[in-house]
Amino acid sequence: MKAVVTVVGKDRVGIIARVSALFCENNVNILDISQTIMQDIFTMIMLVELSTASVSKLNSELAKIAEEMNLSIHLQNEEVFSSMHRI
């Protein structure tokens, strides 16, 4: 299953490292990534492939990272994300 991951929060060292390390540990392949910093706000969107990863486990671990780093992190099925953002 493909999923879209969004990360938003105050810029700080280690955001990409923490999220990508979690994905590596759970055999999640990053297919595409876009990130930018607007003033001091970090934004990132990733398209990932969740081959054997548990969505509930990933959501739980992403929530921990979000809380520790004061970020907003969301993981959504790509089909759901695409249908929600269709014009």
User: What percentage of the chain has pLDDT greater than the value 90?
Assistant: 77
- In CATH terms, the fold of domain 2-84 is Alpha-Beta Plaits (3.30.70)
Q: Closest Cα partner for 62 from 1, 11, 7?
A: 7
Q: Which residue has the higher pLDDT, 84 or 54?
A: 54
pLDDT at 84 over 80: no
pLDDT at 78 (0 to 100): 56
Give the 3-state secondary structure of residue 12: coil
Asked if pLDDT for residue 54 goes beyond 80, the answer is yes
Q: pTM of the prediction?
A: 0.86
Looking at residues 63-69, what average pLDDT do you find? 97
